Chains A and B, each alone.
Chain A
Amino acid sequence: MNLELPLIAFILATALATAVLRDVLAAIIAFATYSLGIAVVWVVLQAPDVGLTEAAVGAGVTTVLFLLTIAKTVRPSGDRVLERLDVPALGVTVLIVAVLATTLGALPEIGAADTTVITSDVTQYYLEHAYKEAGVKNAVTAVLAAYRGFDTLGEAVVVYSAGVGLLVVLGKEVFA
């Protein structure tokens, strides 16, 4: 409990820094810090599989791709350190957050034992039968590759299509 609030404050502060910094390079670096904070949040929330992926993807791959893009294009230079406040955008943002916040009272407490996700039959079935039926002890892997294998095939094809899509956008036939 005592780790949660500073961690949340950290990720919100880095996200805010990403938003207000005008220099794109500075924003990318702030975003990498934010991703690292989020990866720690996944570990705190007992999701080590997601944390591993986020640490490699967010702080590693995504940051490198962003840096590569600005190295290939331009990095706008300016005198101001911070972005100018965009009032209409802020209005839309406040509206969205306000609408989402009205649902807060209807959401269950985080970590309570009687939330719908924890007590759902699906969760219990996966946890009870994963080793017996799929033969693996990591329930995440069992769901990923056995119970929801068709879904995972779809995801793999989406990743493949993203590669093809980028080649189409750039007018190439091979990754070169």
Chain B
Amino acid sequence: MIDLLVTRDYYVASFLLLGIGTYVMIAAGNFVKKVIGMNIFQTGIFLFFIASAYLDGGSPPVLTDSAPYVSPLPHVLILTAIVVGVALTAVALGMIVRIYAEYGTLTEDTLKEVRESE
């Protein structure tokens, strides 16, 4: 059991990060915190991919180093995903700024009340 956890430590960390991200997304009342939760969830997935590409004693996939190399393909996928993630975060934050301009609140419960009273 302990051996299973130690040899797959990054996967365990990845699962826990997915859990923490989900919790923040559901539990946080503030929209900015929800977006932070989404970012934690994303990095959990990134960790899963990069950990799967790892090879003990491997060099980075730059061919001037000596073989063996870790796998370059997950790195490419995650590299672009990080940049797309920041663009996504920015759009979410833009929506938050817009919600604040319309309703004057950033709290989920207050926003529901304001919407119902309209």
Residues of A within 8 A of B (CB): 4-5, 8, 11-12, 15-16, 18-19, 24, 27-28, 31, 34-35, 38, 41-42, 45-50, 53-54, 57-58, 61-62, 65-66, 68-70, 72-74, 76, 83, 86, 88-90, 92-94, 96-97, 100-101, 104-105, 107, 109-113, 115, 117-118, 120, 122-123, 126-127, 130-131, 137-140, 142-144, 148, 151-152, 155, 158-159, 162-163, 165-166, 169-170
* Closest chain A residue to B10, Cβ basis: A110
Chain B, interface residues (CB within 8 Å), range: 35 or more
12 examples of A-B residue contacts, CB within 8 angstroms = A5-B9, A46-B54, A46-B55, A47-B50, A48-B62, A62-B89, A69-B96, A73-B32, A104-B15, A109-B8, A155-B80, A170-B97
**In the complex, number of A-B residue pairs with CB atoms less than 8 Å apart:** 258
B7 proximity list for chain A (CB < 8 A): 109-110
B106 proximity list for chain A (CB < 8 A): 73-74, 76
Query: Are A100 and B58 closer than 8 Å at their CB atoms?
Result: no
